[in-house]
Amino acid sequence: MPFNIYDFSVTTKAVDEYFKAHMSPTWAFVMELLIVGLVFLIVYAIIGLYLVLAERKVCAIMQNRYGPNRVGKWGLVQTIADLIKLLMKELIPVRKSDKFLFNVAPYIVIIASFMAIAAIPFAKGLQGVDFNIGVFYMMAVSSIGVIGTLLAGWSSNSKYSLIGAMRSGAQVVSYELSVGLALLAVVIFSGSMQLSTIIESQANGWWIFKGHLPAIIAFVMFLIASTAEINRGPFDLAEAESELTAGFHTEYSGIKFAFFFLAEYMNMFIVASLAATVFLGGWMPLHIGSLESFNRIMDFVPPIFWFFGKTIFVIYLIMWFKWTFPRLRIDQLLTLEWKYLLPINLLNILLIAFLVLMGWYFK
C-alpha cells in the first residue's frame, strides 16, 4: 500500500494499546469513547463556526463587499465572538408553546448532524465508525434532522414557524429520493455501501472521472438535491426571510437558535464531505490510472488535506449556488424534483446499471 506513511490507524492503535496496558478493558473503552467524543465535539464546533465565517466572506466578495473584517485579523474571530454573544443571550420562553418539544427540537437537529459526522472518513484510518452500510447510514441519519425541524415549527405555536416547518418537511421528503438515487449511482459502480471500500475503489481514479457522463450527472443531481435537503438557498423555503421572518426557528433565541444555525452549517459540511467521498475520492489522492510516478508524487500530500480540499471545493460550489440563484417558489420546487430530477435520476440509474453490466466504464 502506498499510503502507509499517512495511515492514521497506527496512531489510534498506539493509543488503544496504551490504554489497554494501563487500565482494565472496560475503562480503556470508556476512555476511548470520551476522547473520540471530545475530539468530535471540538471539530464540530470549529468547523461549524468557520463555515459561518466562510459563508459570510464568500457572499461578501461575490456581492463586492469586504465581509467581516473587524474582529481579529480578517475577521477570523468574528463568529467566535458571535457565539459568545449568543451564549449570553436570554432564552425567551414562548407562552402557549409545547414546552417539552420546543426545548427538545434543537437537540434533535444537532444530534442528527452529530451522528452523521461519525461515519465520515476524514483520512485513512481516521473515521469514527466504518459501517458496512455507510452510505445508507448517512442517508438515514441526515434525514432525522427534519423531525427536529418539524417539531420546532409545530411546538412554537406560531404561524411562521409552522408554515416554514411544513415546507421544510415537504421539501426534505421529496428531495431525499434524489439524494438516495444519486448516491446509488456510485454504489452500483463500486459494488459496496461501505465508505472505506468506496474510497479504496477510487485508488486508480475518482468515480466522477471513471464513471464519465452518468457519474457527472449523478454528481450534479446530488449537489442540487442535497442543497435542497439541507434547506439552503436557492431552496431555503423553510426560513424564507422575506415571507416567514425566520421560518421554523422564528421563536428561538440564544443558544437554541445557535444550535439550529450550527446544525445547518454542519449539514452543509456533511453533504459536501459525502459528495467528496463518494464522487471525488474522499481522502484518496488524485491518481490517474497507471501513471506510477505521478501517483507517487500525489501520495506525498497527506490524505487529510485531500479530504478537506475536496470538501471545501464542494462547499464553495454550494455557496456559489446560494449567492447566485433566486429562490424557488414551493410549487416550482416540487415541480423541479418530481418532474425533472427524479425521472432523470431514474434513467441515469438504469444507464449506470447497463454500463456496469457491460463493463463500459474505466475500471
Partner 1 sequence: MNPVAQYFSDIFHAVGSLWKGLRVTGYYFVHPRQIVTQKYPENRKHLEMFDRFKGELILVHDENNQHRCNGCGICQINCPNGSIEIITDSVTNEDGKPERIIDKHIYHLSMCTFCGLCVKNCPSTALAFSQQFEHAVYDRSKLTKVLNQPGSSIRKEPKTPKVHAEPMSKSNPDN
Of the two residues 68 and 281, which places its CB atom closer to partner 1 in the complex?
A: 68
Q: How far is the CB of 64 from partner 1 (least distance, A)?
A: 5
Separation of alpha carbons 96 and 156, rounded Å? 8
Residue with grid cell 457565539, as numbered in its chain: 83
Q: Are 33 and 149 in contact (CB under 8 A)?
A: no
Sign of CA dihedral 80, 85, 87, 92: negative
Work out the burial of residue 88: count CB atoms within 10 Å of its CB; fewer than 13 is exposed, 13-18 middle, 19 or more buried: exposed
Q: Which CA distances in Å does 19 have to 28, 33, 176, 221?
A: 5, 12, 42, 45
Sign of CA dihedral 133, 135, 139, 145: positive
Q: Which CA distances in Å does 258 have to 79, 161, 207?
A: 11, 16, 36
Q: How far is the CB of 334 from partner 1 (least distance, A)?
A: 16
Q: How far is the CB of 53 from partner 1 (least distance, A)?
A: 16
37: CB partners within 8 A, 6+ apart: none
Of the two residues 150 and 225, which places its CB atom closer to partner 1 in the complex?
A: 225
Q: How far is the CB of 86 from partner 1 (least distance, A)?
A: 26
Q: Are 285 and 203 in contact (CB under 8 A)?
A: no
CB atoms within 10 A of CB 80: 16
Of the two residues 26 and 63, which places its CB atom closer to partner 1 in the complex?
A: 63
Phi, psi of 246 (to 5 degrees): -140, 15
Of the two residues 107 and 323, which places its CB atom closer to partner 1 in the complex?
A: 323
Q: Which residues lie near partner 1 (CB under 8 A)? A: 58, 61-66, 69, 320-321, 323-325, 340
CB atoms within 10 A of CB 225: 26
Q: How far is the CB of 60 from partner 1 (least distance, A)?
A: 8
Q: How far is the CB of 56 from partner 1 (least distance, A)?
A: 14
Q: Are 328 and 235 in contact (CB under 8 A)?
A: yes
- Joined together, the cell numbers standing for residue 194 give 461501505
